[in-house]
């Protein structure tokens, strides 16, 4: 197996997704209870990653809140971004990472995230060719979107707690969009 040297690292934070067709780019993220879905089309040479905090459905998003925190929103954005870059839905393949139970006294949102991602992909007919979910510790993830190679590193207890603190922060407040219209 040859080792791929990445000339450029692109970090994905909670609520983001990226689609890349450059074989010299590696996507990275740090996960606690969050989940990252890594999708690619091996024929088109394009892939991407998302990073979501909560499982989600249309009903969950209807109550308001930041849509970028929800899996359903980010999964749809990632798939549509891949299709816009020349991917075909019938060639997509996925890898799922994250979903740790990082705080023993809380509900296991990590497990819910992982189950949501797997079910979403099953419903979309996208095969999951690899996954690493659950556990008690977070993980650092690297994904080469063109080749599909993925590598993860387990985090220590202290690193996981730092990740949990970042996940519990409120999402950044979006700046309001100028909606006034001036007629002449």
CA distance 31 to 75: 16
Catalytic annotation on 34? yes
Which of 19, 34, 39, 109 is an active site residue?
34
Active-site annotation, residues: 34
């Amino acid at each position: 197996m040859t080792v791929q040297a990445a000339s450029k690292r692109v970090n994905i934070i909670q609520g983001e997704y990226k689609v890349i067709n450059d074989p010299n780019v590696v996507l990275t993220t740090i996960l606690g209870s969050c989940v990252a879905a890594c999708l690619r089309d091996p024929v088109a040479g394009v892939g991407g990653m998302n990073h979501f905090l909560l499982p989600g459905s249309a009903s969950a998003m209807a109550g308001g809140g930041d849509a970028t925190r929800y899996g359903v929103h980010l999964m749809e954005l990632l798939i549509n971004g891949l299709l816009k870059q020349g991917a075909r839905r019938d060639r997509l393949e996925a890898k799922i990472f994250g979903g740790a139970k990082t705080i023993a006294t809380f509900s296991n949102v990590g497990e819910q995230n992982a189950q949501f991602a797997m079910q979403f992909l099953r419903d979309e007919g996208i095969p999951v060719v690899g996954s690493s979910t659950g556990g008690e510790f977070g993980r650092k993830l690297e994904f080469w979107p063109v080749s599909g190679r993925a590598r993860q590193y387990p985090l220590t207890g202290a690193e996981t707690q730092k990740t949990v603190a970042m996940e519990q922060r409120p999402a950044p407040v979006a700046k309001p969009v100028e909606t006034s219209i001036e007629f002449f």
